[in-house]
Structure 1
Amino acid sequence: MDEAGDLVVTTTRRAISRIAFVAAETASRFERESIEHDPMAWLFAPRRIFEGQAAIDACLERNDFQRAILLHGLSLGLDADREEIDDLLDDDEDELSSYHLDPAIAQYRSNAQMRLYSATIDHQLAGKIQHGFHASMASSMGEFRSRVADIFGTEIVNHAVLREGVNPKVRMVEGLVAPEVLETLVSVPSYSGRRVAVTAERIVELDS
């Protein structure tokens, strides 16, 4: 219940949108990765990544908003050292991304080093449900995103969840990829220079 002594926060619609976006991204990640943690509790708890502030306050500002999206987008845990996150952002400060809704979010880049990336797609439109998965080696998230767009289409890639590495516990991944293939993908980061590519897709037509 609202009280007369409640703290008044003067802000902008853009800043409020950042909080809403971080809240949605947090809940989405916790669900797809089966993280047993309350997204609202995460939003209100002090975090190192925000220098002791809670996300509900810090992410009103653009820089902390970027840090939160990078943390969840790359599945880097529930908290991280601010300097480490800023290093990832600085790596790509000249390649601002259109990731999700804000073109000012910088994506992680690994310079010229090849890394394994994966994408999952859960999209429903016009009576059709499309589930997709792709994993392959790339030198940057941008390169990988372009590859996913080539495979599934530029419209669908906007509904894809991209990350470094593969999380074998995501239910959709378990349903689309054979266990032995998943085991191979999980081991890939240990083999420098190894190149792999796996694509899987399932489309369900719904009765009108």
Structure 2
Amino acid sequence: MAANRLVYVAAETGARFVRERIEIEPIDWLHRPCQLFDGKSAMDACRHAIGFERAIALHGLSLGLDTSPAVVSGVPITAFLSDHAMNYFAASPPRRREEPARKDRGAPALYSCIISAELDRGHIHVFGAMIARSASEVRFRIRQRFGPLLEDQAIVRLGFDWSEPLACAMVSQAMAHLLMLVAEDPTSSLAEGLDFQVEQRFAS
């Protein structure tokens, strides 16, 4: 269990630092003593339940890297862990969980998503379009890429509308034409494996 906790925190740390472009080596932060862990490092504290829960809440809420323990006290980590991840921190052995693409047996279709959100260090705009079988599958993939906070702010729609302001500003004419073709026939060779994303970040 201790190893699972530490591996998960290390993965979340690396993912967040890449996502938010934090200019610190994740391994340096993992070894750094923090008030969040009562003066211990994440490497030591996150092997135990309390340290693990504090780290997950810290990264899930995109808080400062040495936040006081009181700030994350009482935050339920279930909001930041998938059902699949939760299996590894339960008393029973992990059970297999189907990916949303397999659970949701709808027909393939083009979905688009937009995200416009404030971050600690600025603002982010994201436009994405992908072939999926349901909106829940799209949200699952957004969560995997950007984390639960940005997934919560994502607007997911069936199809593609180039008149939507973010799409109009961020998608080229050639790509818009392709997306319109794919929306009309999501089983065509053009649609196969389509997963398009464009991102803009502005420093505050």
> Normalising by the residue count of structure 2, what TM-score does the alignment of the two structures yield?
0.47
> Normalising by the residue count of structure 1, what TM-score does the alignment of the two structures yield?
0.47
